[in-house]
Amino acid sequence: ITNLRVQLLKRQSCPCQRNHLNAEPQHFTHYAIYDFIVKGSCFCNGHADQCIPIDGFRPVKAPGAFHVVHGKCICKHNTAGTHCQHCAPLYNDRPWEAADGKTGSPNECRTCKCNGHADACHFDINVWEASGNRSGGVCNDCQHNTEGQHCQRCKPGFYWDLRRPFSAPDACKSCSCHPVGSAVLPFSSVTFCDPS
């Protein structure tokens, strides 16, 4: 803790001891601090109950100094970051929000629907508004020969093998046909193959 400021608001009156029996007791007011305990918690936006030291943290070695407040949150609710200040990579289907301490709502980050073909997604406000504020996640870097906002279709030159669930890594198979003789998509120059 640095730059801690203490404001003493009220004096404590103290009837001081008499030095001898005939002396009048004297009344003085004093400020006195015997022990000073500072407690706190790391700032986690309501998404963590525990904290750990930040990488590279070195406690100050001083007599009477105890280090109990750490700076990195152990995030819950699918959040990430030192202070749980953003959603985890695959959980950006709704905008990030701090937990609501008044209502108890955790405001969890929600997983994107990437059909098992992406490791991350990002939030897109335009997609969110177009969905009526229900879903705003757009999958990043679709894998396994898939494409689309939710990695929901096979790339051109690949087809969905219906014997496999679409979430399987090998669901999109390469078309083994020659472009010459393949069908042309209407109003497009892109050719595709018919797996049947």
- Summarize pLDDT for 100-146 with one digit per residue, the tens: 988 989 999 999 999 999 999 999 999 999 999 999 999 999 999 99
Q: Assess contact for 120 and 87: CB atoms under 8 A.
A: no
pLDDT at 24 over 80: no
Span 8-28, average pLDDT:
65
Q: Where are the chain's structural domains?
A: 1-85, 112-196
Span 53-79, average pLDDT:
76
Between 14-18, 39-43, 75-79, the lowest mean confidence (pLDDT) is in: 14-18
Q: What is the pLDDT of residue 51?
A: 86
pLDDT at 76 over 70: yes
What is the Cα–Cα distance from 128 to 97, expressed in whole angstroms? 15
Q: Assess contact for 137 and 115: CB atoms under 8 A.
A: no
Which residue has better confidence, 9 or 105? 105
128 phi and psi, to 5 degrees?
-60, -50
Cβ-Cβ contacts under 8 Å for 132 (sequence gap 6 or more): none
For domain 112-196, the question of CATH label 3.30.70.890 is answered with no
Percent above pLDDT 90 for the chain: 53
Q: Assess contact for 87 and 96: CB atoms under 8 A.
A: yes
Phi-psi region of 77 (alpha: psi -120 to 50; beta: other; left: phi over 0): left
Among 17, 76, 21, 28, CA closest to 51: 76
Give the amino acid at 12.
Q
pLDDT at 192 over 60: no
Between 14-18, 49-53, 106-110, 157-161, the lowest mean confidence (pLDDT) is in: 14-18
